[in-house]
Chains A and B, each alone.
Chain A
Amino acid sequence: MFVKGVGMTKFDYSQKSWWQFAFEAGLEALEDARLKIKDIDAIVFTSISSCTDPKQEHQTHKISLLSELFKTNCPIIETPSVCAGGGVAMWTACHLKGFKNILVLAGEKVVNSISEDTTDKILSAAERIFEQTEGMLFPVQNALLWQEYAKRFGATSDDLALIAFKNHQNAALNPKAYYFKRPVSLEEIKNSPIVASPLRMMDCALSVNGGAAAVISEEKTDIEIIASAFATDYLLTFNRKEFWHFVASKKAAQMAYQEAKIKPQDVQVVEVHDAFTSVELFSYEDLGFAPEGKGALLIRQGIVNLDGKLPVNPSGGLKAKGHPISVTGLAQFYEIVNQLRNRCQERQVKPVPQIGLCHNVGGTGGSAVVHILRRLS
């Protein structure tokens, strides 16, 4: 499959509805693709919101509302898959047969009413009976996982602070990121309050609202999707055989490299699912960019910085661009396509990359999707 166009809203706390975010991003992707809605043969949509807003309609038949907004009767498939929703929607679209142009779409208004409601809905991406009632919410899961990683391989909280710092620097250059023009100092990061030891507030991604979209096609364009891989893992994080990294990420990455017929060292720009800075660090290894236990070297040596050999999260990542749950996977796609098309202005990776990778994770490694894109011209 090939990419015709991409679209994305500003990530923020504006009080538009989930469908307004989705529609806005969808229109931008259509315009970017120079297509009209009549040219779209199918839509794949993902979202977890709409039920987080007590004042808003509780809409689970979202596909029908999208039909009305876009004035189309084409098939619309909904693939809610929590934080990996965007990736899973793209994977679904890539594996659909017989459709020439597909609009892949996501919209979320997760940060909405009182924080309890928002937290409750976000927590539905993890396990309640065995884990959440025992106090294990997302930061705790990731903190315990990180402790195990650090114990085995000797990485430190300073490494995590460098990742947060890098992503904030990048976001400051991204007009659609929440932290655009608002750089955060390394000192602020290191002094932020501890949420779940040893993870600090500035190790955690920022929940925001937003939308993102892409139009993919069987017709050849300048950007080819050379791999689309998807793997899952157990919901109970510590019931997995290995719990110091994400096996699903490793498997999806291996499948993707095989499908693309490339090696990790061929990749020139990456969007990693940094829901926590610790996830970004061990994902360097899961995605094959560093041997096991050596991921920290990539941040210490500046390899993953914007001007490094392998820039990671030039958009600012989930950490500083923001993380509107299902939208994230498509927002990564938006960034990589624009990087390959040399459209990213101040944050443009130089030289303009030819191969980029998107890594989108659901929950705490319960699912992972890897897409690899190649610029043809």
Chain B
Amino acid sequence: MMQYFYCPKCKETWPYPIEKCPHCFEKIQREEQGKKIKVLSVCKVQIPTFLHEKTPYFVLLLEDEKGHRWVQKSEKEYKVGYEFLLEKAKDKKNSVVLWKIKYDFYQAIEKIFDLLSIDVLADFKILILPTLETPVHPYFKENTSPEFLSALLEFLFQKGVKKENIKVLGQSFNQFDIGACAQKSQLLSVCQKFGVLPLDVSQGEFILKENLEIFKEVFDSNLILNLSMLKQSRIQSLENLLKLIKKENYLSQEYLSSKEEIFKKLLEILPPVLTLGQADVVQRKDKKHFILDLLLGSFNVLNLERVFSEISFPNEIPPFLKEIDLKEIEIVGRKISEVQVIAFSL
């Protein structure tokens, strides 16, 4: 469960994704992950701290068959020697996967696909919809980060998907030029590096479905990936999906219906979309950031946003999400209480 990297020549390993071995300058490779994970020791923590306010909690020292050791927070007390198993989602359509990024988006993406049992075939046509809203550098945490998009493209190429079958979408609903947003966010350079087509949705074809003009290619693709940059008090994953509607049509719909009604209608029309919610460093309402180090994945975008709100800002859940009963959502990978850290400014 813990990704390690190794030098094929020296056999040294690192949990940090470094580029080259300092001994022989060989390119570092991704090690196959250990499968048998055992609990070595358990520590019960009884005093709250600013990062972990709820006590008691447990910290498990885990070890895999390769001798790699790491720690993991747990709400449950395990016995020493217990063999740790990672269960896959039973309800693929509605489950939410939580995974810690730990400097490695690739593994988090891989785990989400694995736990949701998603098979990616080599001939898949794939649309990727990142958060692309303002022409600012990545450190603002406004747009999807270039590292996340890079890791996703690497993952898809590893699955054999051809670059000509992948399109990265964007559409501006505000005063900013989408090209400027793509350039400043560095998502454009990622597309160029991987030879993937960046596409301005506004220039594409649309088809009318229940008063909504939807980007036509949505209905011709095998997989739609919604790469949302999650934020406090925003339902960013849903706002991303609005970018699949023709701008003029959306603006006119805004006069006729509430945003929530448009969301609901859109979700009924769209084919299944896998949302991958980026929450490594999260932007608060005051634009300050805090570390969460999480990637969330789900085919149910509302469940994903509900879980994110519960983790990061349980006292400020947007009204639209409040009606979703958290107890009804199957959460796999990690538990909410394990990944919750206090929203402390960086």
A residues in contact (CB < 8 Å) with B: 115-116, 119-120, 123, 128-137, 139-140, 143-144, 147-148, 151, 193-197, 201, 236, 238-239, 243
Contact = CB atoms under 8 A, between A and B. Distances in A.
Contacts of A201: 47
B100 interface: yes
Given A116-B344, A129-B102, A239-B15, A147 B71 contact: no
Contacts of B40: 148
Given A133-B51, A238-B71, 16 more contacts: A116-B344, A119-B50, A120-B344, A123-B51, A129-B293, A130-B102, A134-B71, A134-B72, A134-B100, A135-B52, A135-B73, A136-B71, A140-B59, A197-B43, A197-B45, A239-B70
Contacts of A123: 51
Given A148-B41, A238-B61, A137 B293 contact: no
A238 B57 contact: no
Closest 5 CB pairs of A and B: A135-B73, A116-B50, A238-B69, A197-B44, A134-B73
B49 interface: yes
B41 A137 contact: no
B341 interface: yes
A120 B50 contact: yes
Contacts of A195: 45-47
A131 B344 CA distance: 17
Contacts of B15: 130, 236, 239
Interface class of chain B by DSSP:
strand
Given A135-B73, A238-B71, A144 B43 contact: yes
A131 B44 contact: no
Interface in B60-95: 61, 68-73
B43 A140 contact: yes
Given A130-B102, A196-B44, A144 B51 contact: no
B194 interface: no
Contacts, number: 93
Interface class of chain A by DSSP:
helix
B291 interface: yes
B134 to A, nearest CB: 27
Contact of B49 (A119, A134, A143, A144): A119
A116 B48 CA distance: 11
Given A120-B344, A129-B103, A136-B59, A194 B293 contact: no
Interface string B22-66: 000000000000000000110111110111100001110100000
A128 B59 contact: no
Interface in B309-346: 338-339, 341, 344
Contacts of A128: 291
Contacts of B103: 129
Contacts of B341: 133
A338 to B, nearest CB: 35
B43 A137 contact: no
A236 B338 CA distance: 20
Nearest to B100: A133
Most A CB contacts (10 A, CB to CB) among B40, B49, B293 go to B49
Contact of A137 (B51, B291, B338): B51
Nearest to A194: B46
B59 A193 contact: no
A129 B47 CA distance: 20
Contact of B41 (A119, A130, A147): A147
